[in-house]
Every structure is written in structure tokens, then in C-alpha cells.
């Protein structure tokens, strides 16, 4: 297994100044990471820096709370793709899920997937706020709506990815989607434990440390 090819090399903090994004992209090319995951305002710069490489540009939608309106998330996705994003990581509306307004959650994911078309859509369900039953429900809804991945965490919540939750998500989606583990994965042991649990993508800001 080439661990580097599973890593979304990530920088989503508020201080993503130009030199930070340049360094992120240079590292991604050097170590052969799957993608860089950046805030939407940094898509054009990342696209330019990664030109000619195999590394993809990934961005986040409705990040980090997921509480934007569906219309805003749809526009944000359209704009991101227009600017060069090749993968989309969207945050669900956790409150709507906990209210059991499953139609709302489904329709939002479906509308965003319709914009993504063949581009990969990862749905961040923010496991730290969910019960086991809610994690299962979120995964089922995501699959039904056409998501390509379910993702554990934003990294901005009250908890990070756990092996237990990754295993549950993997068991729930089966062959219908993949699992991305993200949040708090800072070394090779963490990353390998997540892949053993079923993750086929790792979101981390510690990609270099992991592969070294």
C-alpha cells in the first residue's frame, strides 16, 4: 500500500497565507499525495501551483459548521469547481440530521452531487456530534444521495476520527462508497490504523511526517 496516495494534504486554518499554500503544494508534489485540501479562496493558487502534477485540488463546502443554506452550499460548489476544484468535501447540516429531518439532509447532498457530476464528493458527517445510530443514518443517506465518500470530521469539532467510528462507517457503506478519516491523524501508526479500519483516504496536515 502506498500511503502517500491516500493522503489529502490539508491546510484549512484561517491563516492560509500564500507562502503556506505554496509550501503545502510543493510538499504534495514532492511526496506524491493524492490531493491538497484548501479553503475555497485558495483554489486558484493551488491549481496554478499543481499544474502538470497528478495531485488534485480539493476544497471544502459549508465549512466548518455546515449551517449555510442549501442554496449557498450549491453556489459555493459551483464556484469552487469553476475555479478549479477537482474534489469536494461538504459538511452536512448536523442539526437537521439530529432533528431527523432526513429529507433535508438527503436533498442537500443530492443537489451538491448533481453539481459535482463525475467529480468526487466527500460528505463530512462530523462524527463527534453523533450517536452511533446517527452515524449509520448519515452514512446511509449519503450513499443514497450519491456521495463517493463519507468523512469523519472537519477537525474543528469537539472530537477527531476514531478507529471505532471508521469501522462503523465502513461497515455501513460497504461497497457503495468509501471512507475518509480526518481529524487528529498525526503519525504513521494513526494513519495505518485508520486504513486497517476501512479508510481509503486520510485527511491530515501531517502528511509529510506520516510518510517520512
* Grid cell 476514531 in the structure block, residue: 162
Instruction: DSSP for 102-161, please give it.
Output: HHHHHHHHHHHHHHHTTSEEEEE--GGG--HHHHHHHHHHHHHTT-SEEE---SSSS---
pLDDT tens track for 114-143? 999 999 999 999 999 999 999 999 999 999
The per-residue pLDDT for 1 is 76
* pLDDT tens digits, 153-181: 999 999 999 999 999 999 999 999 999 99
CB 95 within 8 A of CB 130: no
Which helix (H) or strand (E) segment holds residue 190: the answer is helix 188-197
Annotated catalytic sites, by residue? Answer: 89, 151, 180
The number of beta carbons lying within 10 Å of the beta carbon of residue 20 is: 14
Scan for cell 471512507, then name that residue: 179
Cα torsion through 183, 120, 35, 57, rounded to 10: -110
pLDDT tens per residue across span 44-75 = 999 999 999 999 999 999 999 999 999 999 99
Whether residue 201 is predicted with pLDDT greater than 90 in this model: the reply is yes
CATH classification at residue 73: 3.20.20.70
Determine the pLDDT at residue 82. 98
pTM: predicted TM-score of the whole model, two decimal places: 0.98
Cis peptide, bond prior to residue 64, ω within 30 of zero: yes
What is the domain count for the chain? 1
pLDDT level of residue 190 (50, 70, 90 thresholds): very high
Question: For residue range 2-32, what is the model confidence (pLDDT) as tens digits?
Answer: 999 999 999 999 999 999 999 999 999 999 9
Q: What is the pLDDT of residue 41?
A: 98
- Rounded to a whole number of angstroms, the CA Rg of the chain reads 16
Q: What rounded mean pLDDT belongs to the chain?
A: 98
Using the predicted structure, report yes or no on whether residue 182 has a pLDDT greater than 90: yes
Q: Which residues pair with 121 in a beta bridge?
A: 88
Q: Which three cell numbers stand for residue 26?
A: 510543493
Q: Which domain holds residue 51?
A: 3-211
Amino acid at each position: 500500500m502506498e500511503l502517500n496516495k491516500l493522503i489529502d494534504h490539508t491546510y484549512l486554518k484561517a491563516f492560509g497565507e500564500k507562502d503556506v499554500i505554496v509550501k503545502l503544494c510543493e510538499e504534495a508534489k514532492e511526496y506524491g499525495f493524492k490531493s491538497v485540501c484548501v479553503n475555497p479562496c485558495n483554489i486558484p493558487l493551488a491549481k496554478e501551483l499543481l499544474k502538470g502534477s497528478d495531485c488534485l485540488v480539493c476544497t471544502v463546502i459549508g465549512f466548518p459548521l455546515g449551517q449555510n443554506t442549501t442554496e449557498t452550499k450549491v453556489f459555493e460548489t459551483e464556484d469552487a469547481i469553476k475555479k478549479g476544484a477537482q474534489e469536494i468535501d461538504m459538511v452536512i447540516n448536523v442539526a437537521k440530521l439530529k432533528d431527523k429531518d432526513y429529507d433535508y439532509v438527503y436533498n442537500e447532498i443530492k443537489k451538491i452531487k448533481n453539481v459535482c457530476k463525475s467529480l468526487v464528493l466527500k460528505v463530512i458527517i462530523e462524527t463527534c456530534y453523533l450517536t452511533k445510530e446517527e452515524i449509520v443514518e448519515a452514512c446511509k443517506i449519503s450513499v443514497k444521495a450519491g456521495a463517493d465518500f463519507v468523512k469523519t470530521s472537519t477537525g474543528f469539532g469537539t472530537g477527531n476520527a476514531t478507529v471505532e467510528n471508521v469501522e462503523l462507517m465502513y461497515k455501513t457503506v460497504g461497497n457503495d462508497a468509501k471512507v475518509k478519516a480526518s481529524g487528529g491523524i498525526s503519525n504513521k501508526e494513526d494513519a495505518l490504523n485508520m486504513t486497517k479500519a476501512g479508510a481509503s483516504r486520510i485527511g491530515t496536515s501531517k502528511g509529510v511526517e506520516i510518510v517520512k
